[in-house]
Amino acid sequence: MRFLTRSLLGLFLLAVTIALLAVAWVTLKSAIDIRNAEGGASRPAEERVFTARVMTLQPVRIAPEMTAFGEVRSRRQLELRAAAAGRIVELAPEFADGTAVEAGQLLIRIDPADAQSALDLARTDMREAEAEARDAARALELARDDLAAAEAQEALRAQALERQRGIAGRGLGVAADLEAAELAMSNAVQATLSRRQALAEAEARVNRAATARERVTLNLADAERRLAETELRAGFSGVLSGVAAVAGGLVAMNEKLGDLIDPEALEVSFRLSNAQFARLIDGDGALLPQPVTAALDVFGDELVAEGNLARVDAAVGEGLSGRLIFANLGQARGFRPGDFVTLTIIEPALDGVALLPAQAVGADGTLLALGPDERLEAVPVAVLRRQGDDVIVRVGALAGREIVVERTTLLGAGIRVRPIRGDQAAIRGGSGEEDLVDLTPERRAALIAFVEESGAMGDDAKASVIARLRDDRVPAEMVARIEARMGG
């Protein structure tokens, strides 16, 4: 039985082997026949032609745009500090964060009792000084009149003495009369000297009275100033911030009670590299007043303000580089000091340049230009600026030539292409329209409620965003940003 089984297995394997050999022979013979068979003429290989979008380079005048980031600040900011120590007896209802006040408006009054008493004493001293000055002036007039009378008396005595001497010289008078005249003359001289001394004392009294009056005037002015310092008034029209005062509270000398900020006098500070700064100065090194646009992102919407470059900081600063630039802002609706904004600075215009997509320029700084027989040529180009997804290049000798605006790895020098021509806007593609979405009433109400309760936005910004949210269709980017902050 075992012998029969083994015999049948061997016959089966032999049959399978013969079958495989037959299949192999047939396959080999078919391959040989196909190789040796006479066929038709071979088809030549065709050159592969790629499609490429092209545009014609034309030199134009372009003002490059520089992007920077800065912080909004106010050019007019005043620290409200107490000039006198004491208790606050009056506090203006408008003295609160975010409240607008007018120039000269009373904000805080500190207890003026001591200052008022000092002022009353100074006024009393002033009246005494004025009275003393008047008395001194009258005494001076009397002293002058007294001196004039003494001098007249002296002149009479001198005449009498001369007359007696003349009589005595003729031998008619007696010695006693001459001696009496001389004695009278001596008394008159002595009286004149006394009156002159009195006049000098009267003049000195007038000087002392004037000095005393000046001293009292200074004391009075000081007392008036101290009384005025018990009132804190707004130095200019602005908005209050960081207030720290309550009615009845005690304040110390020079204690800070808040800040007064002028929201209409805004500027933005930002830092540029040395290379960027060099593009914004003239031949004398002065900063050019180039236009500036500041944009503040508010939940997908933007607040925009126009301005111009104003000045550059005098020093670089320790551990810093580049230049700190300041730009004035015009009508900055919704902006507040401390906002972080995106700046677009218009540089001086360049002539003979063209604006291209960044992908048109290769890593080696070349463009693919359309040559004879629609084959591509690699031509060098000078890249002057890079701004976003675009580059500004110097046209030069490439004026009028067609270049590839969408460069890919399949395109290179010597490649034949099928050009697709059209204006640059069509080549770049995109309609520039916002993606709009429809909102359910519940979703719209939730978004509006979140914006209304947000403390990081100003009233103007809230009103702008809410107005957009109430439209039939709302920008998708705005919705996404708001919901990201909501955590939804």
Q: What was the pLDDT predicted at 5?
A: 78
What mean pLDDT value characterizes the chain? 83
Residues 19 and 384 sit within 8 Å (Cβ to Cβ): no
**pLDDT (tens digit, 9 = 90+) per residue, 105-138?**
999 999 998 889 999 999 999 999 999 989 988 9
Q: What was the pLDDT predicted at 425?
A: 37
**pLDDT (tens digit, 9 = 90+) per residue, 363-392?**
888 898 888 888 888 899 999 888 888 899
Residues 128 and 135 sit within 8 Å (Cβ to Cβ): no
Which of 327 and 169 is assigned the larger pLDDT?
Answer: 327
- Which band of pLDDT confidence, cut at 50, 70 and 90, is reported for residue 196? confident
Least trusted range by pLDDT, from 210-219, 292-301, 305-314: 292-301
Q: What was the pLDDT predicted at 344?
A: 92
- How much is the pTM? 0.61
- Which band of pLDDT confidence, cut at 50, 70 and 90, is reported for residue 180? confident
Q: What was the pLDDT predicted at 457?
A: 66
Distance CA 389, CA 359 (A): 8
Say yes or no to pLDDT of 451 above 70: yes
Say yes or no to pLDDT of 427 above 90: no
- Which band of pLDDT confidence, cut at 50, 70 and 90, is reported for residue 146? confident
Q: What was the pLDDT predicted at 172?
A: 65
- 298-301-305-306 Cα dihedral, nearest 10 degrees: 140
Say yes or no to pLDDT of 270 above 90: yes
Q: Which two tokens stand for residue 266?
A: 């805004």
Q: What was the pLDDT predicted at 455?
A: 64
Say yes or no to pLDDT of 10 above 80: no
Residue 48: φ, ψ to 5°: -80, 130
Instruction: Tell me how crowded residue 153 is: count the other CB atoms within 10 A of its CB.
Output: 17
Pairing of strands 376-380, 417-421: unpaired
Q: Which two tokens stand for residue 215?
A: 């001293």
Q: For residue 215, which of 113, 130, 114, 116 has the smallest C-alpha distance?
A: 130
